[in-house]
Amino acid sequence: MDRIFSGVQPSGNMTLGNYLGAIRNWVKLQDDYESIFCVVDMHAITVWQDPDDLRRATREVAAGMLAAGVDPKKNIIFNQSNVSAHAELGWVLNCVARLGWLNRMTQFKEKAGKHKENASCGLYVYPNLMAADILLYKATHVPVGDDQKQHLELARDIAQKFNNDFGKEVFPLPDPMIFGTATRVMSLRDGSKKMSKSDPSEYARIGMTDDADAIAKKIRKAKTDPHPIPDNVDGFEDRLEAKNLMNIYGALNDMKLEDVCAEYGGQSFADFKKALTDLAVAKLSPISEEMKRYMDDPAQIDAILRDGAERANAIAQPVLDEVKDVVGFLRP
């Protein structure tokens, strides 16, 4: 059976983007693949995280996966720092990846901003650790949002260079799986920016634990334009915010964008926003309630993460040993 690896950073409250771009797809795939889902806490610390917040967010991301329907028995759910092979393979891959490759990564440029000398070294080599996460399990498929496409291509380049350098087909080249109507959910305040956990504005995102009032308020305040809803997909030129809201509607309701245009074309944003609010509340409330139930029982989450780490380690350790032998590390 093909194997999936994917992860979410515990770097804040999980967003609708994480749900629609990643976790919801994992639930759809879990019957057809052997799946490993990771709370990537080592990635999260590439930017400052308060330790208490990190602990809480780690449990919350696990709770989000569970509440959305990821089955911890059928799949492996664990946090990255509990399987030390990630860091060990990450180092080897730091020595395989080329500086020129990392220099092209747009996420580093976006996150480091104007003062890149002040960014952590970890943020720079983040894509190498992400490659290690995937290759450590010889994963064949990686379901992600569109924003991770470039990192996935880099992971393939790193796998290929490792195999070529050592003349052995150690790693399969992982295939990205990017699908659904909302592969890139945009900020509610700026349709050219991705919806992110770490956006300083709460109003830029819908959180997976937002209650009905918060969802309604955020959608009401979401940026739009003075024109009516377009009635076909060619009507979105310069209307990024309109397109984003309609994409979100389509994704939540399993509809194509063209069908959303056909249903709401010509109507006002006020009416459309009401419909979107009702839909978002109906789809997200059961998940956020289940998340709260898990968060009230942290021992249950910790037990799932512990069990997941043991099972992940059982797959990872032989691969790490193989890498050590191929590289020439003695294992006395």
Catalytic residues: 111, 194, 197
Strands (E) in 158-220, as ranges, are: 175-177
- Which C-beta is closer to ligand AQP: that of 83 or that of 323? 83
Contact 45, 122 (CB under 8 A): yes
Q: Does residue 189 interact with ligand AQP by CB under 6 A? A: no
Query: Which listed residue (55, 56, 184, 324) binds ligand AQP by CB under 6 A?
Result: 184
Whether the CA torsion 149, 155, 157, 160 is positive or negative: it is negative
CB 40 within 8 A of CB 72: no
Binding flag, residue 244, ligand AQP (CB under 6 A): no
Of 7-15, 262-270, 274-282, 308-316, which part binds ligand AQP (CB under 6 A)? 7-15
Judged by CB under 6 A, the residue of 83, 132, 158, 195 near ligand AQP is: 195
Question: Could you say whether residue 152 binds ligand AQP (CB under 6 A)?
Answer: no
In the complex, the smallest distance separating the C-beta of residue 141 from ligand AQP, rounded to whole angstroms, is 13
Q: Which of 3, 4, 5, 17 binds ligand AQP (CB under 6 A)?
A: 17
Contact 17, 195 (CB under 8 A): yes
Residue 99 exposed, middle or buried by CB count within 10 Å (0-12, 13-18, 19+): exposed
- By CB under 6 A, tell whether 128 contacts ligand AQP: no
Q: Is 8 in the site for ligand AQP (CB under 6 A)?
A: yes
By the rule CB under 6 A, 209 interacts with ligand AQP: no
Residues 202, 280: Cα–Cα separation, whole Å: 17
Query: How far from chain centre, in Å, is Cα 147?
Result: 9
Question: Looking at this protein, which amino acid is placed at residue 11?
Answer: S
Q: Are 195 and 204 in contact (CB under 8 A)?
A: yes
Q: In terms of residues, how long is the chain?
A: 332
From CA 22, how far away is CA 178, in angstroms rounded?
Answer: 9
In this structure, what token pair is assigned to residue 231? 């009635």
Q: Is 22 in the site for ligand AQP (CB under 6 A)?
A: yes
Q: Does an H or E element contain 329, and which? A: none
Question: Under the criterion CB under 6 A, does residue 198 sit at the interface with ligand AQP?
Answer: yes
Please report whether residue 241 would count as binding ligand AQP according to CB under 6 A. Answer: no
Pick the closer one to ligand AQP by CB: 39 or 295. Answer: 39
Question: Min. distance of Cβ 57 from ligand AQP in angstroms?
Answer: 10
Stretch that binds ligand AQP, among 155-163, 193-201, 219-227, 270-278 (CB under 6 A): 193-201
Residues that bind ligand AQP in the complex, under the rule CB under 6 A? 7-9, 11-12, 15, 17-18, 21-22, 40, 144-145, 147-148, 183-185, 194-198
